[in-house]
Structures are given as structure tokens and as C-alpha cells.
Homo-oligomer: A and B are copies of this chain.
């Protein structure tokens, strides 16, 4: 059994980790870490866990964590994970960080977009960006994993094969993304109140959202040059789900078949990526509760653009699910262990 510690277990992503790991045959949660609820029963914080989890929330004693765990998940605010790790910790325990601390290779871009000084830039180089379908080989042996963001996973999975195959012009990429409200976390903030979110839709972080450089960096690897794109997130009155609607100019002569072939080359054997029949638009409800990304596309012949769409559950494939998938890869388990979840409908 893999002994798991979770820091930030009482956020939405942390709690989803708990839900998934409880159904995982090879893992056992031994540490429910939560700054805000130390010494309280985990199931008093999340009533759904009543009689399922009896544990008490604990603090962040990294020495004990490193000694008692095989892997630590950090579902914590930006800068927090980076402030905890050091060579000794990493020599004893693997770390899967759900924050952004190790996602960007260029520390100056991290510090510019996140307005933070990075506490341990020396580990950035070794950290592996954990988009499983793209970086599987590097993930296998890593000890510090940067779990991708929710918007990013959806955007990159949707666009990577097209950029890599040179089918679209990267300079024309526009990503219009829509997210459920759990992506905003469980903090008690006025804009996330039911009465503010319900019956409402709005864009936010326009031209400044922190997931932008992460998408640009990864798509840059796909085409071997810098990519600059427009990314606009929106808040939608639903709990879970991200839908990405992305737009780009097709390169001359590119056909629907070319697009299909590029997607199939990339994903035909991937369990967690579902390529929808042509003309079918993905819906967030079809992946709710599961680790799938659904991808669909349509060519707009009148404008020679592609509209490429992806949908996932932000708490699963966009956070906790992918983190478990990464753990499975890092520990040599079946990649699907604990993640063969049938989406719940309705």
C-alpha cells in the first residue's frame, strides 16, 4: 500500500483527492493535512465523509510527513509547497504539487504572473509537468511532480496535437474557457456566494489569468517556438466542469481528416481522452465525476478556422484525478487504478 499524505485536504480539490483515494486499491491516506481545521474531524468539515473517514485533520510537520508517507499531495495555495520542500524531503518522499509552484520552467515568468518570489527555484528544473498523456515517460521516474491546472489541462489536451502536427497557426489561437464555481475554491468570499453566482455569467481575469503562460509554454514545446495566445476564463453557475472553446486559423489546405488523424495519432490509445464523433460538441455533464477529457471539433469553412472544444471535470482530470493518475504512473501501477469512474448523469 502506498502511504499518502495530503496537505490542503479540506479544500475542494483536497477533498476530491480523498474521495478518489478511498476508492483506490493500492493507496491509503495516512495524513489529512489542513491548516484551517487542525484537530477537527475531517467528516465534520465534509459531511459526505461521515462514517467513511474517521481521521482528524493535522498540520504540516514535514519531517513526520516525509517519514510516514510515500507520497505527499499538496493542494495548497501558490507558494506554499515551494516553501516546504528541500533536498532532504525529496530524498525521502515523492511530492505531487497541485499548485502552480513548479509548472513554469522560467522562474521569472512565474514571479511576474503570480507576484511571488519563488522560495526554491533550484527544484524547478527537475520538476516534471504532469500532463500524463503528453509527459508520461518523464513522469515515471520523477520525485517532484507539477500537476497541471484545470484550465490548462483542458486547453492543452485540446490543442496540443493540432499545434504539434502544424495544422493550425499558433499565433491565431484564442481560448474562451468556462468553469464551474468549485474552481474558485472553498474560501468564504462574496463573489462565490450562491446569490452572486447563480443566474449569472461573466468573464474574469481577462488578458491576465495565470494559466495563460502555462498553456503557452506547453504549446510552445509542441511547435518548437514561442506561442502567445489569448485566454479568457468565465465563471458559470454550476459546481463542476470546464469547457474550452478554442479558435485558430487552419494552415492552408488542412482538412477535417487531417485534424481527425492528428487527434487519433495522439489519443487513440488513451483511456482518459475521448474523441467525439465529428460534429458532436462536448458537454461538461458527460464527464462529471470522471477523469475523462472529451474532445470535439468543427471546421468553419467560411472563415477557414477550426473550433476545437474540450470538456473535463475540473476537480478530477483538472486536479485530483490527474494527480492520482500521476501517482499511478510514478509508482508503476496501472494508470487507471482508482480512476475507472463512470460519469454521473444527470
Which residues of A are in contact with B by a Cβ distance under 8 Å?
A: 12, 15, 19, 22-23, 46-52, 174, 176, 178, 180-182, 186, 188-190, 192-204, 206-207, 228-230, 232, 234, 236-241, 243, 245, 247, 274, 276, 280-290, 294, 298-303, 305, 307, 309, 311, 340, 342-346
Contact = CB atoms under 8 A, between A and B. Distances in A.
Given A50-B274, A195-B12, A204 B281 contact: yes
- Report copies per complex: 4
8 contacts: A22-B342, A47-B280, A181-B194, A182-B195, A194-B237, A199-B199, A202-B282, A236-B236
A320 B94 CA distance: 40
Contacts of A195: 12, 181-182, 186, 192, 239, 346
A201 B311 CA distance: 9
Contacts of A229: 303
Nearest to A290: B48
A286 B48 contact: yes
A237 B236 contact: yes
A24 to B, nearest CB: 11
Q: Which 8 A-B pairs have the closest CB atoms?
A: A200-B285, A48-B343, A195-B346, A207-B300, A202-B283, A194-B197, A176-B176, A47-B286
Contact of A239 (B192, B194, B247): B194
Contacts of A298: 206-207
Contact of A46 (B52, B280, B302, B345): B345
A228 to B, nearest CB: 5
Contacts of A189: 188
A343 B343 CA distance: 13
Given A201-B238, A307-B232, A51 B342 contact: no
A238 B207 contact: no
A193 B15 CA distance: 16
Contact of A294 (B50, B203, B234): B50
A174 B247 contact: yes
B190 A194 contact: no
Nearest to A23: B342
Contacts of A206: 281, 298, 300, 307, 309
A266 B298 CA distance: 35
Contact of A238 (B12, B48, B192, B199): B199
A274 B51 CA distance: 7
A344 B238 CA distance: 14
Q: Most B CB atoms within 10 A — which of A290, A301, A342?
A: A342
Contacts of A287: 48
Nearest to A191: B188
B200 A284 contact: yes
A250 to B, nearest CB: 12
Given A203-B281, A228-B303, A186 B193 contact: yes
A302 B208 CA distance: 10
Contact of A283 (B190, B200, B274, B286): B200
Nearest to A281: B203
